Every structure is written in structure tokens, then in C-alpha cells.
Amino acid sequence: MSLVIKDLCARVKDGADILKGISLEIPKGQVHAVMGPNGSGKSTLSKVLCGHPDYEVTGGTAELDGQDLFSMSVDERSRAGLFLAFQYPVEVPGVTNANFLRAALQARLPQGETVDAVAFYKELRAKMKQLGMDAKFTARAVNEGFSGGEKKRNDILQMLMLQPSYAILDETDSGLDVDALRIVSDGVNAMRAPFRSFMVITHYKRLLDYIRPDVVHVLYRGRIVRTGGFELVERIEQEGFDFLKD
């Protein structure tokens, strides 16, 4: 069981090609880091996998536990176990965090079953506490008026609640101070399990010091140009991405 991407090509709708043939496999239980300079296609990769309407796939395949990802709608992919922690989580005015999460959980239940409100709130409060979030956030609209760090935390809260089998973290470390970074990383690490895998997209080593990856990929100009272990992270930290230019 794994997330398998083969020769994936994608572009901005009616625009430039961004992904130019990406292949990688993330088996269950592993954490893969994807690093690369700005504009290399990291965020595009995450959005394409989730089915963002601004992008179109021009070639290649992606399978989630053997299911064709690209034949599924955005919400079907989510319910199939794919989760994206957004680089810039979206504000949804007027929809409270609690209602939002309940709707998302409800959508995962078989027809006829409903979310148990008491259990839901109990779990929600516990997870919020784990992430150091104030209980009053439940009644606030999703991400509305949140600081950058609060939004990131809120996305991780959703991940803890929805328990995906494949989670993509898109630059979750940006905008987080050291304390918040540790709290968020602890939350992610607590979820690491043999039946779950992660794709951690980042520029920096500091997040990967907390969330140690099993495999590291380097994305450059729409292609994966290096795959290796933690030594790649250390090289990038010392030399930057310049060595890729050769």
C-alpha cells in the first residue's frame, strides 16, 4: 500500500508547464521530505495531487492504494485518505471550525450514521489542547482573522481530527516560531504509524530535525533530481540549492 506517482506532468490551466515528469513512491509508514528552491514545483505537486482546479494534469498517473487519484473529485480524494496542510490555509467566513470539522467527519461516515456530538467535542478539545489552541477557537469562523501561525496550527488540528492515511504538509514550518514548530511537529510525530505516510514539503532543515524523514527528494525545475537520505538535507543546509545547477 502506497502513494505512487509516475511521470507526472502538470501545468497551470492554459499556462506554463510546471511539473515535467515526476515519479516517486511513498509506502505506508514512511515520511518523505520534498525539498527544492522557490518555483521548483513543490506546491504545485501538492495541489495537483489534491485536484486544485487551477492546474491540469498533462501526463502521468498517481495512485493512492491502487486507486486512480485523477479520476476522483477533490472531496473523494480527501475521503480516500489524502490530506493537504495548506501553505496558505484559506479563510472561510461565517463557517465555524466546529461545524466545518463535523461536516468533514460526517462525510466520512456511512449513510444513516451521524457524528456523536459529545464524543466529537471531547475529542476536538483534547486535540486543541495538544496543539496549544484556545477552546474558543471552536466557535470562530475557519481561519478568519487568524494569524499565520494560528492558521497553520488549525490545519494540523484538522489533520489530527480527520486521521488521513496520506498527509502532505506544504511548508507547514513557514510562519511558525520555535515553540509552535515544536508543538506542531510533536502533533505530526504522534500520528506517525505503520498505516500512515507523510510528504513533508519544506525549504529548511529545522522542520526535518523535528520530523525525521526516511527518504529525501529534491525537486528542481519540475523534476526530481536527487533522492537520498538525511545527508541531502545537510548538504542543502550548507550549500543551498546551487549544486543542483550542474
**Contact footprint for other proteins (CB under 8 A):** 50-53, 73-75, 77-79, 83-84, 86, 89-95, 99-100, 103-104, 107-108, 141-142, 158, 162
CB of 79 to other proteins, least distance (A): 4
Of 100 and 121, which CB lies nearer to other proteins in the complex structure? 100
**CA–CA separation, 7 vs 45, rounded Å?**
12
**CA–CA separation, 135 vs 66, rounded Å?**
39
CB of 94 to other proteins, least distance (A): 3
| CA-derived radius of gyration, the chain | 18
Of 77 and 153, which CB lies nearer to other proteins in the complex structure? 77
Of 20 and 52, which CB lies nearer to other proteins in the complex structure? 52
Beta bridge pairs of residue 27? 2
CB of 214 to other proteins, least distance (A): 25
Of 35 and 50, which CB lies nearer to other proteins in the complex structure? 50
CB of 78 to other proteins, least distance (A): 3
Backbone angle region of 21, left / alpha / beta, with phi > 0 → left and psi within -120 to 50 → alpha: left
238-to-5, 20, 69, 79 alpha-carbon distances in Å: 30, 27, 37, 40
